[in-house]
Amino acid sequence: MSLDQNLFTLLLSPHKDDPNVVDLVDPSGTAHYRKRRLPGLDYRAEVYDPMSESLLATATALASTSKLKTLELCNPTMVVELKSVGTLSFRWAFKYEEHEFEWKREECFLIRKPDPPVLVAVTKEPPGRLKTMSVQILDYNLNRFDVNDRKGLEIVILTALLTFQDSNESHHSSETNTRPILGKVMGRSVTATTTIAPPAPPTPPKAEPKTGIDRIAEIQAAKGDYNEVIVEEEGRIDDYAQYCSNLLMDDGMLFVTVRSAAGEQVPKVLQIVEQTKRIRHKAGLSEAQELHQYVLYDTLAPSSSKGPKRIVLDDAGQDKPKAKGKYVPPNSLTIHLSKIPMPELQPKANIADKQGGKKKGWGMQLLSR
Q: What is the structure's pLDDT at 175?
A: 46
Q: What is the structure's pLDDT at 310?
A: 59
Question: Mean pLDDT across the stretch 257-276?
Answer: 89
Question: Mean pLDDT across the stretch 175-180?
Answer: 44
Angle, vertex CA 38, rays to CA 32 and CA 39, nearest 5: 150
Q: What is the structure's pLDDT at 54?
A: 94
Q: What is the structure's pLDDT at 43?
A: 95
AA identity, residue 326: K
Query: 340 or 189: whose pLDDT is higher?
Result: 340
Cβ–Cβ under 8 Å, residues 239 and 216? yes
Residue 361 clears pLDDT 60, i.e. is over it: no
Residue 196 pLDDT level (bands cut at 50, 70, 90): low
Question: Mean pLDDT across the stretch 116-144?
Answer: 84
Residue 4 pLDDT level (bands cut at 50, 70, 90): confident
Cβ–Cβ under 8 Å, residues 94 and 71? yes
- Cα distances (angstroms) measured from residue 211 to each of 233, 235, 246, 279, 345: 14, 9, 16, 20, 34
Residue 322 clears pLDDT 60, i.e. is over it: no
CB-based burial of residue 59 (10 Å sphere; 0-12 exposed, 13-18 middle, 19+ buried)? buried
Q: What is the structure's pLDDT at 359?
A: 47
| CA atoms of 277 and 243, how far apart (whole Å) | 12
Hey, which bits of the chain come out as E strands?
10-14, 21-25, 31-37, 43-48, 55-61, 68-73, 78-84, 92-96, 99-104, 107-111, 118-124, 134-137, 177-185, 188-196, 228-231, 255-260, 292-297, 333-338, 366-367
Cβ–Cβ under 8 Å, residues 123 and 24? no
Residue 304 pLDDT level (bands cut at 50, 70, 90): low
**What percentage of residues in the chain have a pLDDT greater than 70?**
76
| CA atoms of 61 and 160, how far apart (whole Å) | 12
The set of residues, in sequence order, having a beta carbon less than 8 Å from that of 108 and lying 6+ positions away, is: 101, 102, 119, 120, 121, 122, 157, 160, 161
Query: 33 or 341: whose pLDDT is higher?
Result: 33
Residue 132 clears pLDDT 80, i.e. is over it: no
Residue 255 pLDDT level (bands cut at 50, 70, 90): confident
Q: What is the structure's pLDDT at 195?
A: 55
- The pair phi, psi for residue 217, each rounded to 5°, is -65, -35
Question: Mean pLDDT across the stretch 247-274?
Answer: 87
Residue 5 clears pLDDT 50, i.e. is over it: yes
| CA atoms of 29 and 13, how far apart (whole Å) | 9
- Cα distances (angstroms) measured from residue 35 to each of 78, 141, 160, 257, 271: 18, 26, 11, 72, 77
Q: What is the structure's pLDDT at 105?
A: 81
Q: What is the structure's pLDDT at 186?
A: 44
The 10s digit of each residue's pLDDT in 206-241 is 778 888 888 888 888 887 777 888 998 888 999 998
Pairing mode, strands 134-137 and 10-14: antiparallel
The 10s digit of each residue's pLDDT in 142-172 is 999 999 999 999 999 999 999 998 888 877 6
